[in-house]
């Protein structure tokens, strides 16, 4: 994979042509691991690579400098960093929402949760976060989270990790495995039952 992404050199990937992106898509397809949006996602990733490359060139630092300076702008609060990187503005990573920014930061060694649909429905089912928009809670339907609620979700997992004495990333991965199709694939009602509070229509 490193070869396909130019040894993960952001400057090199930023220069990728559409034909090169198509070849990368073909590489994934040949391994039956391509999504329907892969080509579009890889073009967006090219924009992100360009953003990081331009920052590095302008500031005379590696790409890690981008994230460290962004963390400083976020007042050193790791939970606020993915929000900053997903929000339109100077620090925006093209094509990255809050959950994907959090996942990228986790891969870089930051200890935080990724507030994706599975984590959202778990913390909602456990009443750790009260989501305003969760019209359908049957099965494995997830709430529609605001930026504030995504932040609250990441903070909730930080607190839970502190209580059980584990890294936030470990707790996040454990919950995700319980909720995801590749894991236990638990429904919202099963998650709620863990707290003795089975979800119903009146659940706040």
Spatial CA neighbour of 114 closest among 91, 98, 134 = 98
| pLDDT of 203 | 42
Q: Give the burial class of 117: count Cβ atoms within 10 A of its Cβ; 0-12 exposed, 13-18 middle, 19 or more buried.
A: middle
Q: Cα torsion for 121, 127, 128, 133, to the nearest 10°?
A: 50
List pLDDT tens digits, range 149-199: 999 999 999 999 999 999 999 999 999 999 999 999 999 999 999 987 444
| pLDDT of 156 | 98
Percent of the chain with pLDDT over 70: 96
Q: Decide if 25 contacts 38 (C-beta within 8 A).
A: yes
Question: Minimum mean pLDDT among 38-52, 91-105, 149-163, 185-199: which range?
Answer: 185-199
Residue 144 pLDDT more than 70? yes
Residue 204 pLDDT more than 70? no
Whether the pTM exceeds 0.85: the reply is yes
Partners of 133 in the beta sheet? 144
Tell me what the pLDDT averaged over the chain comes to. 94
Task: 114-118: list long-range contacts, CB under 8 Å, 24+ apart.
Answer: 114/172, 114/176, 115/145, 115/150, 115/153, 115/154, 116/176, 117/142, 118/142, 118/175, 118/176, 118/179, 118/180
Q: Decide if 147 contacts 98 (C-beta within 8 A).
A: yes
φ, ψ of residue 133 in degrees (nearest 5):
-110, 100
Spatial CA neighbour of 6 closest among 28, 21, 94 = 21
Residue 57 binned pLDDT confidence (cut-offs 50, 70, 90):
very high
Q: Where exactly are the structural domains of the chain?
A: 1-57, 61-110, 117-193
């Amino acid at each position: 994979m490193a070869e396909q992404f130019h040894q993960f050199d952001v400057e090199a990937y930023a220069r990728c042509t559409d034909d090169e992106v198509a070849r990368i898509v073909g590489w994934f397809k040949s391994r039956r691991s391509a999504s329907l949006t892969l080509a579009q996602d890889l073009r967006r990733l090219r924009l992100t690579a360009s953003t990081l490359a331009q920052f590095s060139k302008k500031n005379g630092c590696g790409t890690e400098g981008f994230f460290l300076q962004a963390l400083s702008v976020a007042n050193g609060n790791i939970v606020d960093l993915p929000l900053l990187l997903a929000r339109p503005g100077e620090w925006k990573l093209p094509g990255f929402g809050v959950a994907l920014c959090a996942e990228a930061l986790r891969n870089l060694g930051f200890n935080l949760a990724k507030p994706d649909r599975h984590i959202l429905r778990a913390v909602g089912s456990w009443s750790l976060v009260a989501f305003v928009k969760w019209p359908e809670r049957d099965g494995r339907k997830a709430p529609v989270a605001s930026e504030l609620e995504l932040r609250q979700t990441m903070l909730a997992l930080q607190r839970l990790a502190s209580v059980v004495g584990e890294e936030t990333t470990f707790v996040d991965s454990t919950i995700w495995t319980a909720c995801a199709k590749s894991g236990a694939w638990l429904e919202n009602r099963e998650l709620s039952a863990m707290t003795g509070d089975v979800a119903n229509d009146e659940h706040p």
